[in-house]
Each structure stands twice: as C-alpha cells, then as structure tokens.
A and B are shown apart, each in its own frame.
Chain A
Amino acid sequence: MAKNEKPAEAIDFEKALAELEGIVKQLEAGNLALEKSLALFERGVQLARACKEKLAEAELKVSQLVKDKQGLFSEEAFKEDKD
C-alpha cells in the first residue's frame, strides 16, 4: 500500500469529465470544421483513456488516526486483518 503514493488527484476527474462533456456537446452541435472536430475527438479519447486507466489502477489507501501524548492526532498505516 505504501508504494504508488500518487494520489487520485493526479487526474482531476471532475475537470476531465466536465471537459469531456463539453467536447461531446460541441461535437453533437456539429457545426465545427472537420479538423476542429477531429482535434476535439482526439482530445476526448485521450481524456477518457487517462481517466479509465487511472480508475483501473485503484489501490485503496487506509490510515488511522492515533492520539499522541499532547492529545493531537496523527495518521499512521492501518493494518487490517484480511481474510
């Protein structure tokens, strides 16, 4: 779990999704030049693929809060007993 510390934020899914929605809307409007359409499509495929890949490599990170002597909480790894 310690490896692959890259957070999910590496891809801003919401932003990517919003952009993708915008692309679909523009393509569906259908009043674009062919080149522009193709560029948009390419960008869209790229976005979708990046998101899909990121989603596929999901690895759940789990930590727990532990109280120190000063009564402050800090995070440490949580060891679960898996079945």
Chain B
Amino acid sequence: MLGQYFSDVWIEGEVSNFKAYPSGHLYFALKDEGSQLQAVCFRHSAQRLKFALEDGMLVVGHGRLEVYQPNGKYQVILDTIEPKGLGALQKAFEQLKRKLEKEGLFALERKRPLPALPRTVGIVTSPAGAAIHDMLRTLRLHKAQVKVVLFPAQVQGEGAAGQIAEGVAALSDRPEVDVIIVGRGGGSIEDLWSFNEEVVARAIAAARVPVISGVGHETDFTIADFVADTRAATPTAAAQLVARTWEELDARLGDLTAQMLEAAEQVLFEKQQAVDELVRHRVFDLMAARMAELHHRTERLVTAAEVALRSTLRAATAALAALDLRLSRQNPVARVLRRKVALQVLADRLEKPALALLARQNVRLEQSAARLDALSPLASLGRGYSICLKTDGSVVSRAGQVGVGDDVRLRVSDGSIGCRVTRTGDN
C-alpha cells in the first residue's frame, strides 16, 4: 500500500554499511546528518550500475519505498543509482583507474618497448570505421613492410568491451603477431566507454606482445591507454608508430650507404696516399741505381759465360772427335778388315815366291822333258828303230837270248808287231 504511493521516489544520501552479497544484491544504508534509511539494490539493477558503490559515497537513487515485514522498518528499493557530483561514468573511470593502478597495471616497468621492426600487426577495431581506414592508409603511406591481421570488433555499445577483449586475446594467441593496436575513432565519452572497461584493460595487460592504444582524439584518455604499453593519441598515430620503425630502417639504410661510401672513399684516398708516398721515397732512386748496376753486372756475366761456354764447346767437340777416332779404331769390323788386308799381304807375299818357284820348276821340267825326250827310246823308235821284247817283256838285245820258234814282239813307234824267231845267229 505504501509502495503504491511512494513508488517513484528520489533519495539522496551517503552510502554506509555497504554490503554486496554473492547473490548480486547490494545492501546499504543511506544517511544524512540526522537520519538514515536502509536501501536495497537487487541484482538486475545492480548489474546495470556503471560504478561500484562504496561507503562514504554520496549518491542519488531512484526507486520505491517499502516496509520490510520481519522488523517493520522502512526501506528503499533502488533501481537506479548515480554518484552525486561526478557522472556515473566518470566515477566508474576513476574507480577502475584507481584499482588497476593499485594493482600496478600502469607501472612503467610493465611497459614493453615496441618491436624494432614489426612484421605482423594485429589490429582490434571496427572493420567499418574510419579508424581502420586511417591506419591502413598510414601503413601504406610509410611503406611499412607489415602484414595486418584485423580482428573486427564492435567498438561501442553493449558487448563491445567483450569483443575488444576477445580480439586482443585472439591476436595475442597468434604467434606471428608481434604488436597489437586497439583503437577507434573519436566520439563521446559514452562512445569510447568500452575502452574503459576492466575486461579490456585485463586483456591488454595479459597480451603476449606489446599493445598500442589509439582511442579517440588527442584529449581522450581511456583506461586502455593507461594499461597499453604505448599510448598513441589517435589510431593514425598508432599506425605511425609501427610505420616509423620501417621509415627509420629506410633512413638508416640511407645513412649507412652514405657512411659506407665515405669510408670506402677514405680507404681509397689513404691507400693512394700511401702509394704516392712510397713512390716518392728515396729508396726507389737507390733501387734504380742498384738495378742498373745489377743489370750491367748481369750483362758482363752473360758475355763471360758465353765466351767460356764457346771454348768449352770447342774443346768438347775436339775431344769428341778424338774419341770417335779411337772408338772407330776399336771397331771390330775395322780390325777384321785390317787383319784381312794384312792377311792378304801375307798371302801375297807367300804366293808370289811360290808361283815364281813353280814357274822356274816348270821351265826346268820342260827343259828336262826335252832332254828326256831326246834320250827316250821312243824317240829312236820314231826314227825307225824297234825294240824286241820277249813275251815276259824283257828286251832282247842279244841273239842268244832267243831260240827259234820263240814269239817276240817288236815295239815300234806307234805300236808293236808280233814275230816268231826263225833263225838266230851272228850278224
């Protein structure tokens, strides 16, 4: 009955004896200088609160009055509570900021440097917003050698914070990602609110790789900015931080090339100088004279050597000829020939007297033969004489040697005549 009349009340007071129950219901008292009233905020309303109630906080609440039956006391059931003074969002921001700061999430020691040369950039933002467009354009403009992996997330309204947090975690899980940008373009504090949510802050803090925040405009600061390893004023600025590493590389390359050229020129210059200096050195004059002297000496030696060589050659040729001669004397063929000649000579010497002797003997023989011929009985026979021979061949030179009837033979010059003795007697 009471609730019917007091179903739309606004009440203002300081929170005291605040208790949050596991059920999600909140119990506390609202008091001013002289009075206090028990207040309840049931779970479904408590969930919608943008900030956390604390003792001592001044709040304005809306709800209805009721009597709590067990003790008969009045209590107010609140459906809306706003911090008095600051806006609810501002209050919540301050509270979360204080809480995370206390945990050390904003500590400088936690901040990781950006990779020297990012290769893969994870970006958590709306696929349709100006932010992604700006960031991609910036990366292209500065010729960043990167690959972009976008996690398309809602960046404002109900559920946005959860998506952003999920995006940071998902990109952090991808091994190739070496830096993450979370951001969105400018807007009201309500538009940017997702980046003030604890779940986003926790995801950023837990990321494996450095996170760059680029939320709203230069003047906007979000919890994400505080937790991020690097805060960029805008999404474009965040992309520039990544692109800058590549621009620096480009510039460094140019510097190094110039330095290298200069150093190489210096090396050449120094070497040239060293050579010039050496060339001018007195030692080269001395060397030249020494060289000339050596040259002359060499020539003289060569001439002497030539002379010596020629005479040696001549001697050697002569010796060779002598040797050849001796050798030819030693030649067995020649020796045999010589012996043959000697033998011939000897033979000749032997033969000539023999022949002469022979000739002489021939002459004598002929003479003897002629004398013999003259003495030969045969010659007498030729002159008509004949020889009477007995049958026994004995010559009958006296008549007494034969008897009548004996056969004898008369030898004449060209043969013989058989005869029989018919008479004997003296002449």
Contact = CB atoms under 8 A, between A and B. Distances in A.
Given A55-B253, A80-B132, 20 more contacts: A7-B119, A7-B147, A13-B117, A13-B145, A17-B249, A27-B260, A28-B263, A30-B263, A37-B271, A55-B143, A55-B246, A58-B140, A60-B148, A62-B148, A63-B147, A63-B148, A64-B127, A65-B171, A75-B149, A78-B127
Contacts of A27: 260, 263-264, 266-267
B256 interface: yes
A2 interface: no
B145 A62 contact: no
Contact of B140 (A14, A23, A52, A60): A60
Contacts of B171: 65
Interface of A: 7-9, 13-14, 17, 20-21, 23-24, 27-28, 30, 32, 34, 37-38, 41, 44-45, 48, 51-52, 54-56, 58, 60-65, 73, 75, 78, 80-81, 83
B151 A65 contact: yes
B267 A48 contact: no
Query: Which of B174, B264, B271: most chain A Cβ within 10 A?
Result: B264
B260 A60 contact: no
A17 B255 CA distance: 11
Given A14-B116, A17-B252, A60 B146 contact: yes
A contact face: mostly helix, strand, loop, or mixed: helix
B199 interface: no
Chain B contact-residue range equals 35 or more
B270 interface: yes
A18 B249 CA distance: 11
Contacts of A58: 140, 143-145
A63 B145 contact: no
